[in-house]
A and B are shown apart, each in its own frame.
Chain A
Amino acid sequence: EHFLFPYIQLDFEEAANLMDANRDVVTISIGDEDLKAKRQGPAGGFPPDVADDDPLGSDDKTEVRLLAGQKKSAPFWTFEYYQAFFDVETHHVKERIIGSMLPWPGKNFIQVYLRKNPDLYGPFWICTTLVFACAISGNISTFLHKFGSSGYKYTPEFQKVTIAATAIFTYAWLVPLGLWGFLLWRNNKILNLVSYSFMEIICVYGYSLSVYIPAVVLWIIQVEWLRWCFMVVALCVSGSVLVTTFWPAVRDDNPRVTIAVIAIILLLNALLAVGCKLEENIVSDARIWSLISSSLCLCYVVFSYIYILKTYLFMSKVSYLH
């Protein structure tokens, strides 16, 4: 019987990278007597006598953490499978949000903050908060904008919530899906030491949206250049979080592919920011949204076509050389 040890983490960078590539490394078997003692530890702490039974021989200082691939051992249709993604505490979530608002070159969000424990709590509630913040702040700024003009009747504009929800949830959940599929595909061709699981990518995208929440709230201020200023700052912060995270995953690739991937990540991010900004000025204009979503799809299709073409040419060149 295997019992998966919670919260044991080796502190070396290369070991973490190697374990990323090679997930089925460690299972620790422990008899039933230890099971009861170890299960007492809550999500945050680790029992002090972990070191005694640890066959890896770690000392008191190191904490050993479950590998992401093995923690989710329940089948995906059970409740316990999803409970594993909510295994965080209040201070973890706070640290992650602050870390996403203060990106630092070289500090990879996934490795520094997630540490093999991606959660679904942060991305979901940050997206929901952003949806309502967008709708409410858009409503308030429209009201303030048109307050003095005659003939203006205040309306709550509740339909903005639906539009904002569609756009933000599409960005935060479908783009990671595409990116994950793309990285998986490239991983088969080029050996990468850094590869991210789907949950980790969703986590990064979700937390990178957290800087938009104060930006959206500050958009109530009716000074136009200040609003563009806030938008650019939010764009830079969020984009740099994404770039510092995905740079290690694509830098070993063909440079054109690298540039294309980074460019697409930043472009989609910018589209979201501009879309949110436009949504406030243009009241529920469905044509704007269809324009934005169709241009998104078009970009995606064009870039993937270019990528496939280049890969085909590259492979044919390689086979020709051999």
Chain B
Amino acid sequence: MTSAEEASRPFAGLSDVSIPDIPVEGDISLPVASSARDDEFSTLDEPVKETILRDLRAVANKFVHVLYPKRSSVLLRDWDLWGPLLLCVTLALLLQGGAADSNDQGGPQFAEVFVIIWFGSIIITLNSKLLGGTLSFFQSLCVLGYCIMPLTVAMVVCRIVLYTASGKVSFAVRLVVVTASFGWSTFASTAFLADSQPSNRRGLVVYPVFLFYFVIGWMILTFSP
């Protein structure tokens, strides 16, 4: 049996092999540290504060990564949706309390903000997956949600500005702040999302993200107490 024939038929050679009587030696032992490792991973015995703090630390770590967007895989590897939920609820609460709340000509309701953010994120994720992206569904949701953080910060700043000043000055300040944070959000999320697409489709994936943050920025800018 030549080697070429053997190579062309995978696993075909195994049927012809006869195993000679070679005694098998050696010892099999479990690594000693395995029992200690099991204790480390069991989190049933730790105090609740530890559990919550661990998750909070992970979320805060991701916030820091959004603030200084560089190529790191923290957001992608250990995705979680706590951060986006926190940001979404904060943003929706801050967008309430406008004077136009009573009549229906007013700003977005709480449910509308929620729907826009989550539904928008889901549609953008579906879009990037349909275009052949390599990120998983929840990783994309995680990235898009975390990158709302600059806009939430801008909302807080806008509310402070609206309490202290009013008129053209406040509008100019708010415009600058919202534009800067919108640019930051788009840049941060593009840094994570664009790598997962082939280069000939990057524009197609970036545009919906741009539109999404533009709409959220518009909602923040037009908030009037």
Contacts and interface: CB of A to CB of B under 8 A. Distances in A.
A247 B25 CA distance: 84
B219 A86 contact: no
Contacts of A86: 127, 130-132
A89 B104 contact: no
A6 B224 CA distance: 54
A44 B200 contact: yes
B200 A83 contact: no
B130 A283 contact: no
A237 B152 CA distance: 41
Nearest to B120: A128
Given A121-B127, A125-B207, A132-B215, A158 B201 contact: no
From B108, B208, B222, name the one whose CB has the most chain A CB atoms within 10 angstroms.
Answer: B222
Interface of A is mostly: helix
Contacts of B202: 90
B105 interface: yes
Nearest to B109: A158
Contacts, number: 74
Nearest to A120: B130
Interface residues of B, number: 29
Contact of B224 (A83, A156, A159): A156
Interface in A268-297: 283-284
Nearest to A160: B105
A90 B200 contact: yes
A77 to B, nearest CB: 15
B203 interface: yes
Contact of A158 (B99, B107, B132, B200): B107
Interface in B177-225: 198, 200-204, 207-208, 211, 214-215, 218-219, 222-224
B204 A139 contact: no
Contacts of B127: 86, 121, 125
Contact of A283 (B105, B204, B218, B219): B105
Interface residues of A, number: 29
B107 A42 contact: no
Interface of B is mostly: helix
Contact of A284 (B105, B130, B132, B198): B105
B97 interface: no
Contacts of B99: 153
Contacts of A128: 211
B130 A157 contact: no
B100 interface: yes
B106 interface: yes
Given A155-B107, A155-B224, A157-B105, A88 B204 contact: yes
B112 interface: yes
A132 B202 CA distance: 22
Contacts of A88: 201, 204
A209 interface: no
A80 to B, nearest CB: 10
A158 B222 CA distance: 10
A121 B132 contact: no
A43 interface: yes
A136 B215 CA distance: 9
Given A42-B198, A155-B224, A156-B108, 14 more contacts: A43-B198, A43-B201, A44-B200, A82-B130, A85-B130, A90-B200, A90-B202, A121-B131, A125-B127, A153-B99, A153-B100, A156-B106, A157-B105, A158-B107
